[in-house]
Structure 1
Amino acid sequence: MLGKFEPYDRRILKILAVRPCESISTTILVTSLLTLAREITNFKSKLFSSQKKIVREIIRQIEILLIFFEEIHDHHPTFTNSLILSLSELHFSIQKIRCLLKDCTREGARLYILMKSQFIANQFRVLVSSVAAALDILDLNSLEICKEVKELVLLLAKQAQKSNLHVSISDQCAMERVILILNHFENQFEPEKGLIKRILNYLGIHNWVDCNKEVKFLEDEIRNSNVEEEEREIPLLSGLLGLMCYCRGVIFDTLDDDGDHNSESESKLAGAGEVLSYLNPEDFRCPISLELMINPVTISTGQTYDRASIQKWLKSGNLICPKTGEKLENTELVPNSALKKLIHQFCCDNGISISKIGRKSKELSRTIIFPSPASRETIKFLAEFLAGRLTYGTDVQKNKAAYEIRLLTKSNIYNRSILIEVVNVAPLLDLLTSNDPNTQENAISALLKLAKHSKGQKSIIEEGGLMLIISVLRGGMKIESRQIAAATIFYLSAVEKYRKLIGSTRQAITGLIELIKDKDGTMCGKKNAMAAIFGLLLYHRNHDRVLEEGIIPVLFDLISCVERSDFLVDALAILACLGEKINGSIAILQTSALPLIMGFMKSFISKAGREYCVSILLSLCINCGTEVVPILSKEPSIIASLYALITEGSSHASKKALMLINMLHKFRESGSSSSALPSPSSIHKETCFSSNFGK
C-alpha cells in the first residue's frame, strides 16, 4: 500500500514522505502519480507570498510529468524494472514537492516562509535533482507513447539536471528588511512604521485578522518546538512573533471582526476536582527546571519555584530571583500550600503518579521559551504604545488596547511581567466601569491574565481593584465578564493575605454563590465560581463566612440534578472541605445529602469523586457520629466501595477509607451501642496524623 501523502501531525518544513512498497501494483502506482501531479498543478491558483519564481518553475515541470503519466495510464506499456524504479523514485520526490508547496501556502506562515527562503530553495533544488535522476534511468525508447511526449520528457530531464533554483532578488531584499527591523528592535530603536508596512504589503498581510493568523502560527511553532533540537530556530521564531504582535497592536488600528473576538473559552479556569484540568500547565511548572513542582515554595520576590530547584540555585551562590532578576531580601523559602494542594489534586484527577512527575510530561506542560533580545524589546515598545492608548485613546482605542493585552498575556509569563511594569493595572481597572460590554469583558479578561503573575496580584489589590472586580462579578453586563471575574478572584485567592481580604468582603462570597445559583448562567461560570470558593476555603476562617451565605443548599441543588452532573466533583470538593468542621457537617446533614453521597460513593465512576465522598462521610461520622454511623453500618455495599478505594485511591484517600472501615466495624462488633460511636476528640488526633502523613 501507499502511505498517506500528508500526515496530519506534520510540522511545517518537516517533510515526511512514504516510499511505495516494492510489491506495489503498477496500476496503483501510476494512479497515485496522477493524483499527486494533478494536486500540484492546482497550486497555480493559490497565493504564494514568496518563492513565486521557484514555484512557477516547479509547477511547470510537474505539468509535463502529468502529461507523461497520462500517456502511461492510457497506453499501458510494458512495465520493465527500470520503468518501475523510475516511477517509484518520481513518486517519492513528488510527494516531498507536494508537502513543500503545501507549506509555502500554510495559513499564517507567510513571514516565516519568507525568512526560510534559502532553506526552501535548497530543498526544491534537491528535489528537482532527484526528479532528474529518476528520469535519467528511464528508457523512453522502450515505451510505446506519443513521440511529442517523449521529447517533452527528454527536455525536462535536461532542464532538471541544469536547474539552479535560487532565492529571488525581491525575496532576498524583503528578508534583509525584516532582519534590519529586528536589529532595530534589539538595539532598542523603534523602526519606521513605513518600513514595516512595506514588508506587510509584500507578504499580503493587509489587516488585523491576517496579522493575528501569523501570530497564532508562530505561537504554535514555538509551543511545539523541541528546545534541544532547535536552538537556532527558536530565537528566529521568537523575534518574528514579537514583530507580528507589534504589528497587530500598533500598525493595524482597526480590530477587524473575524468571528473570534470576545468569544474565547479562555475564561475557563480551574477549580476543585475535575475543574483543575482547565488550569494552564505553566502555573504548575517550576520556572527553573520546567518540571511539575512537587514541593512549591515562594521566595521574597513573590515568585514560586520547586524547593529542590531554588535550593540548588541558592547554593550555587545566586542571590537574585531567577525569573525577575531582583535581588533577594532574604533566602527564606515559604511553602506554597495552596498551590501544592492544587497540583496534587490535579495529579490525582489525571492519574499521574507524584513519584514519577520528575519526567517532563507533554500533556501537563509545554516548554517555556524565553523571548529573544529582539522580541523582548519589541514587546516593551508595544507595551508603551498600549499604555498610551489606555490612558489617552478614544473609547474604541481603549477597547482594542485592552483586547491586545488580553491576547498578549494569554500564555506568556514575560509578556505579563512587562505589561504589569509598563502599562500597570490602573487603566484596565478604570475600564471595568465602562458602559460598553465588550470593553468591560476585555478589561476583566486582561486583568485575569495579569492576576496569574504575583506582581499583577499585588498591583490589583494595591490599586483598589478588588471591589471593582467584585462589582463586575455581581453586575457585569455580560455573563462572560461575570465568570471571568470569578476566575480572577480564584487567582487572587492563591495569596494567603488576599485570601483573607477577599473572605472578609462579604460581597465577594455572595457574588460567587449568586453566580452558581444563576439559572441562566453558563457551566464555565459556575465552575469558576466554585473554583474561587474552593480557593477561599484554604483559609480556615472563611469556612464560617461561606456557610453563613448558604452555600450548602446551593451545592445540594446542583448535585441532586442529574443534568448537572458536570458539577458533581467540584461541588463534592467544596462539601468535603466544609464538612471538616462541625457546623459544616451539621449543615450537610440538614440538606438530606447523606443518601446522595452514599449513592455517589457506590456508583461514582470518577476516582476523585469517590475520594471526596469518603472525605465527606468520614467528617460526618467524626462530627455527627450518632446520626451517621448507624446509617452507614446498614449499607453493606459501602464497605465494598471503601475496600476498592484502599487499593485504587491515593494514599491520603486510602487512609481515610481505612479509618471509616474501622469505625464501622467497631460499631457493628459492639452490637450497635452508642459507646462504640467515635469520639470527636480522639478521631481528631487520628485525622490530623493521617492528614499530615498524606501531605
Structure 2
Amino acid sequence: MAMPWRRRSRKPKAKPAADLPPSTVPEIAISPHFRCPISLELMKDPVTASTGITYDRQSIETWLELGHATCPVTKQELRSDVLLPNVALTRMIQSWCEAHSALGVERIPTPKVPLSVAQAEEILSGLADAGCRRDAGRCGELARRVRALARESERSRRCLETSGAGRALAATFSAFSAEYFEFPELLEGVLAAMAAVGAAAVDAEAASFLAAPESLNVLVEMLRHGSLAARFNAAVAVKSLLAASSRATSELVSATEGMVEALAKLVREPISQQAMKAALAAIYYMVSEDERAAEMAVEQGIVPALVELLAEPERAMCEKALAVLDGLLCCERGREAACGHALAVPALVKRMFRVSEAATELAVSALWKLCGDCRRCSREALQVGAFQKLLLLLQIGCGEKTKERATELLKSLSGHCSGKQHIDCVDTVDFKGVIKHV
C-alpha cells in the first residue's frame, strides 16, 4: 500500500556572509596594531623603522621616496633608511586572517626579503666575471636570476637598475654576439633580463656595447627570425639603445642592414601591442635624427600602417603613430606617400582634438608639412573642416610653435579658398557651433 506523501519541514540554509544584505553582514574588527599608521589598511609586509614604529613596507617606502627623512608618527629624524621585517607581527596577522577566513578574509602571503644593493652588486659582478671567462652556462644562470628578481617586485627592479644591471647585461650580450648561432638561448635570455629591468637601465655605456656591429647584427637577426618573445625583447633593446645614444650612433643603427626593414615589419604586421609600441619608438628616434632612415622607412610601406593606427582609441598608440608620421613627413618621399593616401588628411584633422595636447601639436605639425605646397591636401583639409578646427585651436590656446604653424596653415588654406567658400571659412564661423562638431 502506498504511503501518503508527507512534506517534511526543512530549516532554511544559512546564507553565506557574501550573500547577506549589507545591513546584516558582520563588520570585521581589525586591531589597530595590524593597521599601517600611514594607509590605515591591514599591513601585508610589516617593517620596523629606526624609530621603532612599524609600517607597511609599501607605505613607508613611498614616504621615503618622496624625500621625507622623519618618522611619520614620532616626527623624529630617521637615523637610517634600513627597514627591518617584523616577522612576529607578520605571523600574528596571518593567524588572524586564518581565524576570519569564513568571513572572506584572505591570508596575507609571507613577504619575501627584498633584494639589497650588496646582493644586486654581487650578482652583477658575478655576471661580468662569467662573461670574461666565457662561461656561457653561468651567464645564462645569472641572467635568469636577474630577470626573476626584476619581476619579483618593483623595489628589486629599481635596485638592479641603479646597481648597473643594464651595463652588465649589455656587456654580456656583446661578448657572445659573434657566436649567436652557438648560444641563441643565452643571448635571448640576456635580452629578456634587460627588458625586465627596464629601458632606464640602458645608459651611455650600456648603449656602446649594444651598438657594436656584432650586437646590432644579432638584434636584426632576432627581429627577423626570433621567437615572439625574442622579437619583442629585441625591439625593446633597440629602442633603449637609441634613447641613450647620440646622433652618430643613431645613424649607425639605422644604417645596419635590415634594421629599418625589421622594425617597419613589426608595425605593419604586429605580433603584440607592446612590440609595436617599441618598434614605433625606435623608428621615431631614427627618423628624427636621420633623413635617410626616414626614406628607408617610407620605402618599407610604413605610412599606410601609421595612418591606420591614427584610428586607434588608445592615446599612447595614437601619439606614437603621429610622432613617427610627423618625422617621416620631413622627407619628400614621406610627403608623397601621405598625399597619396586617401585617409591621411582626414585622420590628421580628426586627431587635432580629443586625444591629448601632444597629439594636437603633432597633428598640426603634420598638416603644416602636408598642406604647405600641396593644393590637393589643402582642398581635402578644407573639406573635412580643418579651417574651423584651426580657428578653434587658436581661440582656446596652444603652444607658441603650434600657434605659429596653425596661423601659417590658416593663411595657406585661405589662399586655396575661392568665392563663397572663402566667406564661409572666415565670416560665418560660430565657435559655439564649431565646438559641437569637434
Q: TM-score, normalised by structure 2?
A: 0.65
Change (3 A) 1:416 1:554: farther
Q: How does 1:497-516 map to 2 (within 5 A)?
A: 497-516=248-267
Deviations for 1:93-112, whole angstroms, at most 9, x for unmatched residues?
A: xxx34526999983344xx3
Task: Note if contact 1:600-1:610 (Cα within 8 Å) is conserved in structure 2.
Answer: no
Residues 614 and 657 of structure 1 are in contact (CA less than 8 Å); yes or no, is this contact kept in structure 2? yes
How well do the aligned residues superpose, as a CA RMSD in angstroms? 4.3
Counterpart among 171, 180, 199 of residue 426 in structure 1: 171
- Displacement of 1:535 after TM fit? 0.8
Q: CA deviation at 1:600?
A: 1.2
Alpha-carbon spacing, 1:564–1:118, altered in 2? closer, same or farther (3 Å):
closer
Q: Aligned residue for 2:386?
A: 638
For the 8 Å contact 1:515–1:526, the answer to whether it is kept is yes
Secondary structure class of the residue paired with 2:281: helix
Instruction: Work out which structure has the larger RCO, using CA pairs closer than 8 Å and 6 or more positions apart in sequence.
Output: 1
Say which of 340, 343, 350 aligns to 1:600: 350
Match of 2:144 in 1: 400
Shift in Å at residue 642 of structure 1? 0.2
| Structure 1 residue 444: Cα displacement | 4.6
* Alpha-carbon distance change, 409 to 633 in structure 1, aligned in 2, over 3 angstroms: same
Which amino acid in structure 1 is aligned with residue 35 of structure 2?
A: C
The Cα shift of 1:405 comes to: 7.1
Question: Which structure has the greater CA radius of gyration?
Answer: 1
- Write the distance in 2 (CA, Å) between the matches of 1:388 and 1:628: 60
Q: What is the CA-CA distance between 1:654 and the residue it aligns to? A: 1.5
Residue 641 of structure 1 aligns to which amino acid in structure 2? K
Indicate the SS of the match to 1:411.
Answer: helix
Label 1:491 to 1:409 Cα distance change in 2 as closer, same or farther (>3 A).
farther
Contact 1:630 1:672 in 2 (8 A): no
Q: Per-residue deviation at 1:603?
A: 6.0
What is the count of residue pairs matched by the alignment? 349
2:372 is paired with a residue whose SS is helix
Corresponding residue for residue 69 of structure 2: 229
Is residue 480–residue 525 contact of structure 1 (8 Å, CA) maintained in 2? no
Distance change >3 Å, CA 460–CA 670, structure 1 → 2: same
Offset at 1:605? 4.1
TM superposition shift of 1:525: 1.1
Q: How far apart are the structure 2 equivalents of 1:409 and 1:106?
A: 20
Give the corresponding residue for 2:44: 107
Question: In 2, Cα distance between the equivalents of 1:104 and 1:671?
Answer: 67
Q: Quote the residue 2:122 is aligned against.
A: 381
Q: Retained in 2: the 8 A contact 1:222–1:234?
A: no
Give the conservation status (yes or no) of the 8 Å contact 2:325–2:366: yes
After TM superposition, give the deviation of residue 380 of structure 1 in Å.
Answer: 3.0
Contact 1:444 1:485 in 2 (8 A): no
Aligned partner of 1:544 among 281, 284, 295: 295
How does 1:229-628 map onto structure 2 within 5 Å? 229-230=69-70, 232=78, 235-237=81-83, 377-388=118-129, 392=135, 393=137, 397-403=141-147, 406=150, 410-412=157-159, 415-417=162-164, 420=167, 423=168, 425-429=170-174, 430=176, 433-435=183-185, 439=189, 442-445=192-195, 449=199, 452-462=202-212, 464-477=214-227, 479-494=228-243, 495=245, 496-519=247-270, 521-541=271-291, 542-559=293-310, 567-597=317-347, 599-601=349-351, 604-624=354-374, 626-628=375-377
- Aligned-partner SS, 2:43: coil
Which one of the candidate residues 403, 410, 434 is aligned to 1:654? 403
Structure 1: distance between partners of 2:193 and 2:36: 42
Determine if contact 2:352/2:364 at 8 Å carries over to the other structure. Answer: no
- Counterpart in 1 of 2:14? none
CA shift for structure 1 position 661 = 0.8
Q: Does the 8 Å contact 1:598/1:638 carry over to 2? A: no
Tell me how far 1:514 sits from its aligned partner.
1.3
Closer/same/farther in 2, CA of residues 529 and 416 from structure 1, 3 Å limit: farther
Q: Percent identity?
A: 16
- The residue identity in structure 2 corresponding to 1:653 is T
Paired with 2:187 and 2:116, the residues of 1 have a C-alpha distance of 32
Q: Secondary structure at the match of 2:279?
A: helix
Find the aligned partners of 2:52 and 2:380 in 1 and give their Cα distance: 77
The question of whether the paired residues in 2 share the 8 Å contact of 1:450 and 1:456 is answered with no
**Is the contact between residue 572 and residue 609 of structure 1 (CA under 8 Å) also seen in structure 2?**
yes
The equivalent of 1:665 in structure 2 is 414
Q: In the alignment, is the contact (CA less than 8 A) between 2:364 and 2:405 conserved in 1?
A: yes
Partners of 2:130 and 2:341 in 1: CA distance: 53
**Using the alignment, how far apart are the partners of 1:601 and 1:387 within structure 2?**
48
Distance 1:107 1:117, change over 3 A: farther
CA distance in 1, matches of 2:269, 2:82: 48
Amino acid at match of 1:582: E
- TM-superposed deviation, 1:526: 0.9
